[in-house]
Chains A and B, each alone.
Chain A
């Protein structure tokens, strides 16, 4: 599995319409989905560093709430993720 850098996580958040809510050590983002669900994530400041597949999967599942394919598609198309 090819894993993203923190800069790519941030890029995903920007394309997907996340709002920066805090900058202290990490940068924190939030997004409110159409059904009112609130998502929250943060990115490390070491933006060029990649992460392990296990960590990437945890971020996708518990914070970004998209599949890996939806994550890649968002970066490729520069359009917000379609969470179905």
Chain B
């Protein structure tokens, strides 16, 4: 594995990564060492990182909520993402918001080359954190802001 003395993260060429994928994965997953894989002389690079580590790195990206209760309806907004959840109770609106965030996160990463070229590219850390959180714990991410 190449280790550039200047680089902070270790980097490995694509062909070497393929032949030593098991070792590379052990390094990333068990030793918690993010690693860069590159090809075409470093023109294309990707970062491998253990998902649980990435969730921890993204912990600061908390969803800020705004709750409106009006006329027997509850609307919960994530203003920074433009996502709304609707319900007749707060709990119902929060559950709906989780569903809407799942839909948006799915669409965002499905059409990531489109969104990456727009103002919505900045939504990526919040949506990635949400997407990497197990579905049964996604609802609790909304309670962080409450």
Contacts and interface: CB of A to CB of B under 8 A. Distances in A.
A58 B77 contact: yes
Given A40-B82, A58-B77, A62-B82, A32 B118 contact: yes
A58 B119 contact: no
A39 interface: yes
A84 interface: no
Contacts, number: 54
Interface residues of B, number: 23
* Chain B interface main SS type: mixed
Interface of A: 21-22, 24-25, 28, 32, 36-40, 42, 44, 51-55, 57-59, 62-63
Given A28-B107, A53-B70, 12 more contacts: A32-B118, A38-B118, A39-B82, A42-B100, A52-B73, A53-B71, A55-B68, A57-B68, A58-B66, A58-B75, A62-B77, A62-B83
